[in-house]
Amino acid sequence: MSKIAVLVGSLRQESFSRKVAKAVAELTPALALDFIDIGAVSFFNEDLEANPPADWQALRDRVSSADAVLFVTAEYVRSVPGVLKNAIDICARPQGQGALGGKPAAIISTSLGAIGGFGANHHLRQSLASLDMKVLGQPEAYIGNTGALFDAEGKLVDERARAFLAAFGTAFETFIQRQVPPFEQRQVA
């Protein structure tokens, strides 16, 4: 079972991005999703790199211990929310030794509108490419019209969306297995 760090780019407790991420967890039990709260992480400031704050180190440690990272984000002003970019900046450091470097990743972008956060998805892909992260190419996940996909209790009730997210989670698990060697092979001699 792959351990996946989940970074949700929306802080709102009832955010549709968070609901989509929880649906992936429900529909793909082979993925052990570790939801990391990035809302309380202090702002990145290079002046603090010599003695990083404890919240930075805690975030870096959790991401480092994961086999892969799932980014689920809303789109703010055709890009990713600042809180998500902050978490990425923190995990990208120290330069060349960051917690994200080279890890398999997948992106799900969400929006209330029809285009499903396309701008955020592609801005995020650009950032992750600079970290040498291997990002799942297919299926691409742009989840639009999110307000109509969930019931009052937050359960994903749209059957097409359920089928898509189940297939997405399975594809991500297969992708991770191709990227990450079995635990035995990761042991340092």
- Could you tell me the pTM of the whole model? 0.93
Contacts of 21 (CB under 8 A, 6+ apart): 6, 8, 33, 35, 70, 72, 108
What's the domain count of the chain? 1
| Residues 49-93 pLDDT 10s | 999 999 999 999 999 999 999 999 999 999 999 999 999 999 999
Which H or E element spans position 74?
A: strand 68-74
Q: Kindly report the CATH number assigned to the domain that includes residue 68.
A: 3.40.50.360
The answer as to whether 160 is a domain residue is yes
pLDDT band at 189 (very low <50, low <70, confident <90, very high): very low
The answer as to whether 186 is a domain residue is no
The answer as to whether 35 is a domain residue is yes
Q: Which of 3, 5, 11, 4 is nearest to 84 (CA)?
A: 11
The answer as to whether 188 is a domain residue is no
Q: What is the mean pLDDT of the chain?
A: 93
The answer as to whether 37 is a domain residue is yes
Distances (CA, A) of 76 to 91, 137, 139, 178: 21, 22, 23, 32
What is the number of alpha carbons within 13 Å of residue 156 lying toward its C-beta? 24
Between 11 and 184, where is the model more confident? 11
Cα(102)–Cα(69) distance, integer angstroms: 11
The answer as to whether 20 is a domain residue is yes
Which range marks the domain in which residue 121 is found? 2-178
